[in-house]
Amino acid sequence: MTNAFQHKLEKLYSKMLKMASIVEDTIQKSVEALRVLDFDTAEKIILEDDFIDNLEHELEMECLTLLATQQPLAKDLRLVGATLKVITDLERIADHAVDISRVTLELKGQKLIKPLIDIPRMASHAVEMLHNSITALINEDIELSNKVMESDDF
C-alpha cells in the first residue's frame, strides 16, 4: 500500500468520523427537542439534513474513486466497502432524527401526556452503540465490536 493511498484512506476515515459525530449529535438533539418540545431545534435539524445527505454523497464518491483508481485488495477493499455501508447507515440514522423532529413539530400547541423517559434512554444507548461501532471499525477492534453486538440486547 502506497503512502498516498494510506493518506487517502485516513482522510476518508476522518470524514466518516466527522459524519458519525454530526449524526450522533443530530440524534441527541432531535430526541431532546422532542422531550422538551423545542420546535426551533426540530426545524433546524430538518433544514440541516441536506448537509448530511451531501456529506454522504461526497464520501460515497471518494470511496468509489478509491476503488476505481487504487484497486485496493483484501483488507483495504473490505474497509472501503464497509465505509460505503457505514455512510449509508449514518445517513439513514440522520433521516430518523428528521422524522423525530417532524413528530416534534406535529406536537406544536400540545403538551406531552407524560414526561419522556424511555425514549431518551434508548436514544442515548443507540448513540453509544453507534459511537462504539465506528470506533471499533476504525481501530479494527474486534473486542469492542463484540461488546457492541452484546449491548444490542439492551
> How do residues 19-69 score in pLDDT, each as one tens digit?
999 999 999 999 999 999 999 999 999 999 999 999 999 999 999 999 999
Q: How high is the pLDDT of residue 26? A: 98
- Contact between 114 and 151 under an 8 Å Cβ cutoff? The reply is no
Cα–Cα distance for residue pair 120/90, rounded to 1 Å: 19
Residue 44 per-residue DSSP state: H
pLDDT over 90 (residue 4): no
Contacts 24+ apart (CB under 8 A), 59-67: 59/12, 59/15, 59/16, 59/19, 59/83, 59/87, 60/84, 60/87, 60/88, 62/8, 62/11, 62/12, 62/15, 63/12, 63/87, 66/5, 66/8, 66/9, 66/12
pLDDT band at residue 16 using 50, 70 and 90 as cut-offs = very high
Task: Go through the chain and tell me how many residues it has.
Answer: 154
Q: Which pLDDT tens digit goes with each residue over 89-146? A: 999 999 999 999 999 999 999 999 999 999 999 999 999 999 999 999 989 999 999 9
Residue 137: CB atoms within 10 A of its CB come to 20
- Contact between 59 and 12 under an 8 Å Cβ cutoff? The reply is yes
- For 44, list phi and psi in degrees, rounded to 5: -65, -40
pTM: 0.91
